[in-house]
């Protein structure tokens, strides 16, 4: 049976324990090793690592390397494992070489990993360790992307490994690419008269023969059992009495629970959350981003919270080629021209587009007006709404994006056009409107909403209002609402009656001894989306592009789907009536 990376960390423990007792080590060393071993078996690697490293024995160095590997500190792990040389007892040396190959694999040093594993072919005794090493060699060959394959090909010196790298891609790549791979083998002077090369020549003799080979080849890359995914959690730390404490804690706990659920469902894979305190400063966030890239070789970063740190981290995400998903950021400029930033929280542009689509397609609105504050976040929503509505065939006959604050929020010069009085419409030659989009944001949102509804009430206008998320937080007087419907968009919505929400709440409370807030669910949804994508593709190198096309994730607090873009397109629409707030469409 094939052994995974994680089973390797523990399966040799009993054998090595017996082996250690036969080495004649001191009683103190044996006791220390047993103490470290007990911690290691429990997964308490931070405690076991210093015990093993202080033993100053080959066995201690091996298990120190394994402990640091378990902590995700692969470079430190290699430092200890490299102390076991060929002069070391053979069983320990071979295990160290296999563990080094695992560390190189996690670090993306695929050529080095293959070079270590290929040497196991020279072992006459085909032990379980040797069998596992050779299987891991094959797994890596199947796992690599073309760019990783090219880099490994250029890195290794062994002609056999170069051949294996090229040959294992045959049938998985298009015919012209396969021909190039064969040419590369000829360029390095591999004997073309060998049976292996003759077989490749036959397959590549023409495109028809190659098409037959593709038909019978498995074109889906496999993932080695036991692969580790390291996910960075870039969040600021606060004192427990700070207002933002519940936000950061909730997100982090959500990340952790998502990783634990992933590990339970996928015993052949592991996900670890690597926390870094980004504070609220861009310089600190930049330092932590670099630390996650170098120290933990993270595959993705969840966070940060604030716009300024996010902008600096976004630059480094592109530099280190690490996908970054801020769970709450909704700035329209954050992901522009940066292929490594994905916004799980929909932007204001997305809100405007979603509301326009709903107004035209679902409410059959044809003639519309827009009223928003200039230089507010609602301005971006306004332009997006107008563009999307007109693209779908509607008309935006009034577009008021004005400096309302400078006019004391006096709206009557705009709202006079929002009348539904047919006589006044005819006499003043106004347009018969179907609705008005008012994406108010910021501190003035509630006041502007109240003033707009007051003007509509004074005109006895029943015109429906379409708005931004701020409308969901307004306390609208019943007399102003009347029979009017107010629609607003929102990124998040928690259905407290949902069975999966109740199950999450129970699991969360049991795990962390506190009740989950909305941010815990947002964190859980974001991390789950990333982990589901990694599970689908296997190779983290493909994550950046795979996130764009990952099927919609229907979460606890929000749905996530980038639909070929870098901004979450899943915006919900709600309606406010006398009966309260309800989603217009249930998931």
Task: Read off the pLDDT of residues 15-33 as tens digits, 9 standing for 90 and up.
Answer: 343 334 344 445 556 668 9
Query: Rounded to the nearest 5°, which phi and psi values hold at 526?
Result: -65, -45
pLDDT less than 70: residues of the chain: 1-31, 192, 214, 216-221, 280-282, 335, 586-587
348 dihedral zone (left: phi>0; alpha: psi -120 to 50; beta): alpha
- Taking Cα atoms as reference points, which of 205, 242, 218, 226 lies closest to residue 101? 226
Provide the pLDDT for residue 205: 82
Q: Are 467 and 576 in contact (CB under 8 A)?
A: no
Chain Cα centroid distance, residue 388: 29
Q: What is the 3-state secondary structure (H, E, C) of 289-355?
A: HHHHHHHCCCCEEECCCCHHHHHHHHHHHHHHCCCEECCCCCCCCCCCCCCCECECCCCHHHHHHHH
Quote the pLDDT of residue 34: 92
Chain centroid, CA 24 distance in Å: 50
pLDDT in tens, 401-451: 999 998 889 999 999 999 998 988 888 889 999 999 999 999 999 999 999
Fold held by 5-216: 1.25.40
For 160-198, how does the pLDDT look when each residue is reduced to its tens digit (9 = 90+)?
999 999 999 888 888 898 889 988 888 888 776 788 888
Instruction: Retrieve residue 128's tokens.
Output: 């379980």
Q: Which pLDDT does position 21 carry in this prediction?
A: 37
**Where are the domains positioned within the chain?**
5-216, 348-490
pLDDT of residue 218: 59
Q: Which residues contact 50 (CB under 8 A, 6 or more apart)?
A: none
Helix (H) or strand (E) holding 210: helix 207-216
447: left (phi over 0), alpha (psi -120 to 50) or beta: alpha
Fold of 348-490: Rossmann fold (3.40.50)
CA distances 290 to 199, 245, 304, 313, 324, Å, are: 47, 24, 14, 9, 13
């Amino acid at each position: 049976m094939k052994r995974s990376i994680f089973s390797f960390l523990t399966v040799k423990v009993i054998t090595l324990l017996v082996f250690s007792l036969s080495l004649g080590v001191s009683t103190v060393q044996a006791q220390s090793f047993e103490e470290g071993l007990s911690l290691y078996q429990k997964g308490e690697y931070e405690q076991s690592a210093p015990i093993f490293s202080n033993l100053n024995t080959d066995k201690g160095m091996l298990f120190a390397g394994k402990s640091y590997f378990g902590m995700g500190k692969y470079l430190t792990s290699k430092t200890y494992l490299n102390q076991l040389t060929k002069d070391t007892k053979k069983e320990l040396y071979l295990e160290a070489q296999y563990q080094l190959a695992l560390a190189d694999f996690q670090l993306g040093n695929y050529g080095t990993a293959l070079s270590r594993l290929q040497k196991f072919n020279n072992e006459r005794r085909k032990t379980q360790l040797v069998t596992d090493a050779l299987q891991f060699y094959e797994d890596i060959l199947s796992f690599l992307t073309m760019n990783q394959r090219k880099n490994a090909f250029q890195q290794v010196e062994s002609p056999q490994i170069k051949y294996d790298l090229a040959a294992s891609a045959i049938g998985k790549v298009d015919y012209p690419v396969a021909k190039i791979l064969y040419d590369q083998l000829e360029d390095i002077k591999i004997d073309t008269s060998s049976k292996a090369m003759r077989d490749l020549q036959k397959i590549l003799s023409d495109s028809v023969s190659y098409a037959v080979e593709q038909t019978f080849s498995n074109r889906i890359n496999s993932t080695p059992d036991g692969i580790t995914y390291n996910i960075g959690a870039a969040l600021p730390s606060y004192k427990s009495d700070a207002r933002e404490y519940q936000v950061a804690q909730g997100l982090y706990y959500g990340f952790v629970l998502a990783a634990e659920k992933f590990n339970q469902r996928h015993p052949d894979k592991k996900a670890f959350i690597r926390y870094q305190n980004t504070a609220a400063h861009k310089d600190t966030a930049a330092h932590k981003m670099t630390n996650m890239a170098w120290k933990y070789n993270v595959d993705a970063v969840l966070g940060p919270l604030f716009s300024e740190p996010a902008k600096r981290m976004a630059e480094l995400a592109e530099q280190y080629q690490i996908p970054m998903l801020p769970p709450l950021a909704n700035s329209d400029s954050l992901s522009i021209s940066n292929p490594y930033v994905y916004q799980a929280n929909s932007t204001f542009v997305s809100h405007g587009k979603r509301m326009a689509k709903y107004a035209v397609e679902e409410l059959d609105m044809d003639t519309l007006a827009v009223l928003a504050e200039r230089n507010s976040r609602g301005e971006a929503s306004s332009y997006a709404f107008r563009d999307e509505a007109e693209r779908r065939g509607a008309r935006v006959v009034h577009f008021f994006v004005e400096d309302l604050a400078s006019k004391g929020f006096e709206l009557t010069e705009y709202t006079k056009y929002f009348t539904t009085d047919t006589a006044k419409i005819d006499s003043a030659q106004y347009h018969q409107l179907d609705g008005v989009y008012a994406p108010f944001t910021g501190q003035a949102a509630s006041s502007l909403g109240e003033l707009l509804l007051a003007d509509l009430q004074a005109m006895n206008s029943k015109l429906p209002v379409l708005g931004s998320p701020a409308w969901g937080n307004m306390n609208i007087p019943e007399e102003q609402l009347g029979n009017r419907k107010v629609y607003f968009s929102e990124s998040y919505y928690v259905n407290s009656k949902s069975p999966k929400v109740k199950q999450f709440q129970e699991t969360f409370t049991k795990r962390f001894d506190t009740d989950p807030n909305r941010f815990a669910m947002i964190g859980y949804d974001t991390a789950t989306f990333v982990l589901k994508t990694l599970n689908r593709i296997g190779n983290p190198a493909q994550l950046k592009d795979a996130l764009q096309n990952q099927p919609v994730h229907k979460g606890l607090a929000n749905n996530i789907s980038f639909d070929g873009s870098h901004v979450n397109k899943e915006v919900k629409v709600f309606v406010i009536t006398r009966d309260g707030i309800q989603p217009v469409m249930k998931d």
